[in-house]
Amino acid sequence: MKISQIDITEYNPFKNLTLDLTYPKGHPKEGKPLDKVCFLGQSGTGKTSLLNLIRATLTANLTTEHDQVLQGTLNQNISRADKTMIVITAFFKDVKSIIEIREGGEISWEWKTSLPTPKQFIETFYQGKNKLISFPAEIITNLNQILQEKPVSPVSYLKTTVEFEQPKRSQKPQIFDFETDNVLAIWNEILTDINAYKIKELKYSQQITKALDISAAEGERAFQNYKHWKAEHPNPLEKLAQQLDIILNKFSLTVKTSFDFESVEDLKFIEIQSVDGTEIPYSGWSTGTKQVILTMTPLFKLNTDESIILLDEPERSLYPDIQTEIINYYTALAPNAQFFFATHSPIIASAFEPWEIVELKFNQKGTVYQEKYYEGERQVDNYFIDPRYFSKTLRFASCAKA
């Protein structure tokens, strides 16, 4: 499922704004929704507001942050565009989002013709998939509070986790919104297999210790059981490390794949170390390191097939050499998703083709409009600005026609 168009009659700085989020004529994917979109502009132009509108469209769960303007839910408006797609038009007050759903293996044409409600259609389409993964600009704040709680012993945490864990849900969450209050529950969902592996390894360690108290032979038997289990159950942190280390190595860091069980943080979250093996406590992580780990980990661990992924200010605390590469790393981790980025950075924008950029500017009346990078008909060869040639020293206002 991908968004192909957003129409806004009047909302915050927007008035009569239509955004075409499809590939232009002459492109191999002509007319199809863009795989990634960059909302670019100065502060106050509504970049984050657009991310919030997309989030509201998919969740149909509007809050007071939308100033009561968007009160409403998905309506019954579904129209069949042709035999390859169905178009859902989601209306809120003065806002319309058009979501194209192209025919796929799970959705038969016979089922489509029944024309269910948009909510039913989305729920059916996303069975076994994740609808939305949303990273706010302030993603680090909530997790800082969680990981810096008063420490408790690993054994106490183990008892709480194993003996008093909540009953398993029949349905897993499909929305991972890191701006919500239940961010700890979100991370527990993402790191389920890693934490389960850590707890299992801790149990084996305890068993070996108890067996050694009985005899050396019992200790050896317990150790062999542990080795057999390790051989059949690869450490999931090692696969994660292969992905994160691509970026972390630029900071002379790496994901720590072994467990010490010296504190509860060894069970609760990912640990990192310097390339020489020195462990770096979470309190010692740079904000850039946190930004990379907190955004890349979910994209690797979650099923992102057909997901819509929102990233606000991906450039935060990242040096320009990382900014030039980070977008490609994100999209490689989730190749079948649709990304929406909001940024102030021309360096981030340089990772996009011209038709993937939505640059927002104020007009003389204070209303926001989209700066067009093309003249005449929207075709691939009509674009006179190409953000891929921008550098950190260039300003968009200084770009001239080629």
CATH of the domain at 351: 3.40.50
- For 189, the token pair is 């969902």
- Categorize the per-residue pLDDT at 105 as very low, low, confident or very high, splitting at 50, 70 and 90: very low
Lowest average pLDDT, out of 42-56, 162-176, 270-284, 338-352, goes to 162-176
Answer for the pair 360, 370: CB distance below 8 angstroms, yes or no: yes
Full domain range(s) for residue 99 = 2-129+305-398
Boundary (domain end) residue, out of 255, 288, 321: 288
Lowest average pLDDT, out of 35-39, 127-131, 204-208, 267-271, goes to 267-271
Lowest average pLDDT, out of 13-17, 175-179, 282-286, 393-397, goes to 393-397
Burial (CB count within 10 angstroms: exposed 0-12, middle 13-18, buried 19+), residue 57: buried
Is there a single domain that holds both residue 87 and residue 215?
no
Is there a single domain that holds both residue 106 and residue 151?
no
Q: Looking at beta carbons, which pairs linking 195-200 to residues 24 or more positions away fall under 8 Å?
A: 195/161, 195/267, 195/268, 197/233, 197/235, 197/236, 197/237, 198/259, 198/266, 198/267, 199/158, 199/161, 199/162, 199/267, 200/229, 200/233
Is there a single domain that holds both residue 151 and residue 114?
no
Is there a single domain that holds both residue 268 and residue 379?
no
DSSP secondary structure code for residue 27 in this structure: S
Model confidence, pTM: 0.81
Is there a single domain that holds both residue 369 and residue 270?
no
Lowest average pLDDT, out of 110-119, 147-156, 213-222, goes to 110-119
Does a structural domain hold residue 215? yes
Is there a single domain that holds both residue 264 and residue 317?
no
pLDDT per position as a tens digit, 380-393: 999 988 887 765 44
- Categorize the per-residue pLDDT at 64 as very low, low, confident or very high, splitting at 50, 70 and 90: very low
pLDDT per position as a tens digit, 234-268: 999 999 999 999 999 999 999 999 877 666 666 66
Is there a single domain that holds both residue 60 and residue 158?
no
CA distance 348 to 341: 9
Is there a single domain that holds both residue 280 and residue 157?
yes
Residue 167 clears pLDDT 70, i.e. is over it: no
Burial (CB count within 10 angstroms: exposed 0-12, middle 13-18, buried 19+), residue 240: buried
Residue 102 clears pLDDT 60, i.e. is over it: no
Average pLDDT for the chain: 77
Phi-psi region of 102 (alpha: psi -120 to 50; beta: other; left: phi over 0): beta
- In total, how many domains does the chain have? 2
Is there a single domain that holds both residue 65 and residue 193?
no
Count other C-beta atoms under 10 Å from residue 144's C-beta: 14
Residue 87 clears pLDDT 60, i.e. is over it: no
Boundary (domain end) residue, out of 288, 322, 342: 288
Boundary (domain end) residue, out of 237, 256, 288: 288
pLDDT for the residue numbered 57: 73
Is there a single domain that holds both residue 338 and residue 228?
no
Lowest average pLDDT, out of 42-51, 141-150, 236-245, 392-401, goes to 392-401
Is there a single domain that holds both residue 116 and residue 155?
no
CA distance 128 to 63: 26
- For 304, the token pair is 């992102």
Q: What is the mean pLDDT of residues 45-71?
A: 65
% of the chain residues with pLDDT over 90: 35
DSSP secondary structure code for residue 132 in this structure: E
CA distance 55 to 311: 11
pLDDT for the residue numbered 164: 40
CA distances from 25 to 1, 30, 381 (A): 21, 5, 9
- Categorize the per-residue pLDDT at 190 as very low, low, confident or very high, splitting at 50, 70 and 90: confident
Q: What is the mean pLDDT of residues 369-375?
A: 91
CA distance 345 to 312: 11
CA distance 348 to 315: 7
Lowest average pLDDT, out of 8-12, 119-123, 363-367, 369-373, goes to 119-123
